[in-house]
């Protein structure tokens, strides 16, 4: 779990702003859910047999003995909120998005943390493949809006509860003859969750998976029609995708469409994001069957790719004015002036304590301030202030009563506005 320090914050702000603006563009509304949920939500929705539920959930009992979990993913909480607040009474589908922390007790490694942050969006209440296409196009538009270029969208359909059992049986039959060659994880998957055999990252297991039966050969007519229609929609949208018969995804609740966004250089950090359709999830939570489709991207992975691809992001706004003061009288004047400047919406920082002018100017430089206003004993006597341009080092004496107006004027000139505009 990491601290996100001030120098990293512009990247986080940038990603969150792009996320919100792509959601505005497609009509997805924000939703915040609590970090803690009833553990049963995830055991029912994500289901046992998956690493996330079996090995990675942070579970604890509260003082009342209720079993709770730190949210390991965002879709199940959104579905819970959809049911709890009667959002099914609204015109469907309901389109929502979230940005928040997820917790998984994973083995920490590059790109895999125990607390990470996801931006996800969900369309609940409609099974049309047009919605799957919208979600996939939206994921692509979001990544492009960030300035990321080198990624590809992998797509598969894993069928529904009518056709998947036939596929899983065929998969088990195929793998039976390879049991001795599988890695220990895959041996366990053969029993617990055979679909996951397909996305093992070990080379020999991948070779075996490559020749395994394909989900798409076992789709029932409805699932096949859905998958074909989705591909047609993506072609209309000119959203490129790669069919990947080994793509199954780590969460059990998916039905039909699954997709993942992979960086071009498939690094050990893995997918930028992934999603799919989850038409059985809401029923698993005890409500009437309700279709849904969504996507989630990991913000830490996005940021690491932004860094690798050297995408420029807007820097954080710097402090405009730094107030340096010498002596008790000047310190009080500085307190007053800081409040007036902030009241005039000029970003201002004050020096604290009794520091030398040199160390105060050093601090002003470190915070990137454009101007330092120096208030010394002499200035106090003459009711003036020394205004220092931090870039040129030029200094001029200004009457104390004129400091705000002078700074406003200078700032307006810097921005190319007429002073009256500020």
The binding site for ligand AMP (CB under 6 A) comprises 73, 104, 106, 111-113, 116, 118, 250, 271-274, 296-298, 300-301
Q: What is the dihedral of CA 315, 9, 265, 185, to 10 degrees?
A: 180
The smaller minimum CB distance to ligand AMP, of residues 57 and 337, is found at 57
State the Cα–Cα distance between residues 54 and 354, nearest whole angstrom.
57
Strands 371-375 and 321-325: parallel
The smaller minimum CB distance to ligand AMP, of residues 119 and 218, is found at 119
In the complex, the smallest distance separating the C-beta of residue 106 from ligand AMP, rounded to whole angstroms, is 5
Strands 371-375 and 384-389: antiparallel
Report which of 108, 140, 133 is spatially closest to residue 1, judged by C-alpha positions: 108
In the complex, the smallest distance separating the C-beta of residue 45 from ligand AMP, rounded to whole angstroms, is 12
The smaller minimum CB distance to ligand AMP, of residues 151 and 178, is found at 151
In the complex, the smallest distance separating the C-beta of residue 302 from ligand AMP, rounded to whole angstroms, is 7
State the Cα–Cα distance between residues 276 and 280, nearest whole angstrom.
12
The smaller minimum CB distance to ligand AMP, of residues 103 and 167, is found at 103
Q: Please give the C-alpha separations between residue 67 and each of 35, 38, 39, 262, in angstroms, as whole numbers.
A: 14, 6, 6, 35
Rg of the chain in Å (alpha carbons): 28
In the complex, the smallest distance separating the C-beta of residue 52 from ligand AMP, rounded to whole angstroms, is 7
In the complex, the smallest distance separating the C-beta of residue 212 from ligand AMP, rounded to whole angstroms, is 22
In the complex, the smallest distance separating the C-beta of residue 376 from ligand AMP, rounded to whole angstroms, is 51
State the Cα–Cα distance between residues 122 and 169, nearest whole angstrom.
31
The smaller minimum CB distance to ligand AMP, of residues 102 and 372, is found at 102
Q: Can you give the length of the chain in residues? A: 422
CA 254 to the chain's CA centroid: 21
The smaller minimum CB distance to ligand AMP, of residues 82 and 178, is found at 82
């Amino acid at each position: 779990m990491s601290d996100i320090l001030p120098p990293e914050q512009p990247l986080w702000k940038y990603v969150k702003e792009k996320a919100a603006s792509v959601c505005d563009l497609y009509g997805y509304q924000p939703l915040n859910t609590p970090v803690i949920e009833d553990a049963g939500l995830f055991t029912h929705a994500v289901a046992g047999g998956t690493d996330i539920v079996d090995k990675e959930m942070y579970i604890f009992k509260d003082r009342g003995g209720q079993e709770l979990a730190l949210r390991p993913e965002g879709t199940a909480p959104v579905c819970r909120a959809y049911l709890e607040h009667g959002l099914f009474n609204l015109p469907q589908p309901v389109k929502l998005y979230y940005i928040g922390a997820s917790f998984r007790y994973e083995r920490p490694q590059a790109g895999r943390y125990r607390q990470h942050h996801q931006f996800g969006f969900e369309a609940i209440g409609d099974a049309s493949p047009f919605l799957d296409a919208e979600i996939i196009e939206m994921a692509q538009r979001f990544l492009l809006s960030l300035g990321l270029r080198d990624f590809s969208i992998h797509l598969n359909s894993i069928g529904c509860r009518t056709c998947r059992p036939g596929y899983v049986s065929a998969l088990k039959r195929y793998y039976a003859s390879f049991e001795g060659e599988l890695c220990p994880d895959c041996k366990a998957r053969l029993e617990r969750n055979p679909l996951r055999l397909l996305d093992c990252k070990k080379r020999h297991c991948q070779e075996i998976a490559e020749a395994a039966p394909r989900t798409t050969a076992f789709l029932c007519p409805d699932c096949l029609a859905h998958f074909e229609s989705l591909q047609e929609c993506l072609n209309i949208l000119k959203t490129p995708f790669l069919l990947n018969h080994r793509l199954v995804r780590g969460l059990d609740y998916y039905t039909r469409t699954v997709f993942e966004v992979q960086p071009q250089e498939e690094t050990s950090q893995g997918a930028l994001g992934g999603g799919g359709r989850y038409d059985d999830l809401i029923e698993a939570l005890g409500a009437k069957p309700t279709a849904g489709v969504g996507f989630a991207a990991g913000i830490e992975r996005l940021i690491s790719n932004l860094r690798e691809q050297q995408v420029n992001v807007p820097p954080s706004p710097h402090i405009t004015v730094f107030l340096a003061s010498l002596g008790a009288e000047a310190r009080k004047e500085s307190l007053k002036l800081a409040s007036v400047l902030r009241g005039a919406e000029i970003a201002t920082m004050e020096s604290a304590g009794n520091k030398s002018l040199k160390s105060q100017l050093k601090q002003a430089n470190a915070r990137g301030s454009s101007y330092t206003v120096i208030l010394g004993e002499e200035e106090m006597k003459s009711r003036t202030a020394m205004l220092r341009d931090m870039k040129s080092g030029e200094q001029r004496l200004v009457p104390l009563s004129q400091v705000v107006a002078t700074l406003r004027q200078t700032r307006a000139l810097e921005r190319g506005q007429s002073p009256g505009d500020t």
